[in-house]
């Protein structure tokens, strides 16, 4: 993995006004990363043409069409045919936690919008599902480039709030999805409902590609506090007075079990999983996931 440019540092990105601008930076970072990495395992079965867009691999430029029609078109192969993708962002109360400039919700929104932008660039239809939050939203997939603006607006309008209902949402989507597609879920997965996993597994069983980005804050991963603290739930009224030092080891052990269990359960059903820390450059989880996707689907 190439080191991240300074402009992709979360602190720098957070200072940029507007999710759209941030998305552009992240997409640029992803595309730059993809161009630098070796392309391996790409399918060679031609499917159709599409108009050239910045970021498309020039090696797939159809020179014949260019010579005959003076149009820039690129060849698309079987694995690059249009698909219908749904980007789901968890904006429940727990996603509002922030130890740095980015809350988990903001970080997840940025990742989701960046992924949507990448998909739209290659002509895929992208929809949005905002789970929980102050303004839950559901936007049907569309492949228009300007569709990104709608998605970004919906994400910007929502604020993290209330409990999580990931399980129900996943099950509902699994039932409604008519054709094979892709679901990218951005969440901390702190929803205790076991149906979350069931719904995602159902989607995978029906041939959907499911990408799970688990977004966590460094505080949650390290519990770095020393002084006695009164911890308060961000979704309900639960509180706990405790000295973090005394339970840090047990907490980290418990969290480690949870993360490992989640990763293992998703992997067993062919679901992709990526752990994202809100203090790492946002393009990196996307790059890791996209690079892994190429390896998994030669």
Contact set for another protein, span 249-268 (CB under 8 A): 250-251, 254-255, 258
Task: Closer to another protein by CB, 61 or 259: give it.
Answer: 259
- Separation of alpha carbons 2 and 22, rounded Å: 20
Q: Does 46 bind another protein (CB under 8 A)?
A: no
DSSP state letters, 215-264: EE-HHHHH----S-EEEE-SSSS-EEEE-HHHHHHHHHHHHHHHHHHHHH
Query: Which of residues 41, 145, 192, 224 is near another protein by CB under 8 A?
Result: 192
Question: In angstroms, what is the minimal distance from the CB of 236 to another protein?
Answer: 9
Identify whether the C-beta of residue 160 lies closer than 8 Å to the C-beta of residue 91.
Answer: yes
Locate 294 and state its tokens: 């190429």
Query: Which of residues 94, 109, 114, 201 is near another protein by CB under 8 A?
Result: 94
- Separation of alpha carbons 289 and 98, rounded Å: 24
In sequence order, what are the beta bridge partners of 212? 185, 273
Question: In angstroms, what is the minimal distance from the CB of 250 to another protein?
Answer: 4
Query: Which of residues 76, 104, 165, 208 is near another protein by CB under 8 A?
Result: 104
Contact set for another protein, span 211-250 (CB under 8 A): 217, 219-220, 225, 227-234, 238, 240-243, 246-247, 250
In sequence order, what are the beta bridge partners of 36? none
Name the site residues for another protein (rule: CB under 8 A).
Answer: 93-97, 104, 188, 190, 192, 217, 219-220, 225, 227-234, 238, 240-243, 246-247, 250-251, 254-255, 258
């Amino acid at each position: 993995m190439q080191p991240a440019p300074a402009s992709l540092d979360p602190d720098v990105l957070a200072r940029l006004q507007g999710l759209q601008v941030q998305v552009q930076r992240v997409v640029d970072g992803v595309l730059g990363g993809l161009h630098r990495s070796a392309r391996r395992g790409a399918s060679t079965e031609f499917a159709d043409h599409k108009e050239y867009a910045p970021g498309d691999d020039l090696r797939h430029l159809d020179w014949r069409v260019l010579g005959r029609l003076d149009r820039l078109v690129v060849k698309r192969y079987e694995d690059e045919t249009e698909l219908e993708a749904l980007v789901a962002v968890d904006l429940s109360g727990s996603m509002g936690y922030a130890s740095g400039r980015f809350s988990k919700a903001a970080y997840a929104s940025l990742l989701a919008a960046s992924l949507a932008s990448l998909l739209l660039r290659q002509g895929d239809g992208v929809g949005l599902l905002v789970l929980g939050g102050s303004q839950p939203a559901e936007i049907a997939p569309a492949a228009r480039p300007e569709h990104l603006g709608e998605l970004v607006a919906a994400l910007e309008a929502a604020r993290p709030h209330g409990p999580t209902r990931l399980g129900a949402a996943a099950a509902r989507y699994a039932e409604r999805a008519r054709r094979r597609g892709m679901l990218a879920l951005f969440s901390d997965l702190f929803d205790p409902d076991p149906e979350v996993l069931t719904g995602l597994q159902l989607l995978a069983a029906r041939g959907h590609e499911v990408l799970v980005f688990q977004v966590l804050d460094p505080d949650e991963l390290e519990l770095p506090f020393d002084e006695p603290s009164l911890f308060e739930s961000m979704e309900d009224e639960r509180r706990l007075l405790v000295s973090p030092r005394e339970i840090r080891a047990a907490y980290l052990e418990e969290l480690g079990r949870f993360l490992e269990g989640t990763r293992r359960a998703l992997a067993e059903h062919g679901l992709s999983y990526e752990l994202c820390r809100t203090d790492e450059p946002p393009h990196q989880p996307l790059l890791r996931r996209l690079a892994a996707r190429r390896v998994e689907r030669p």
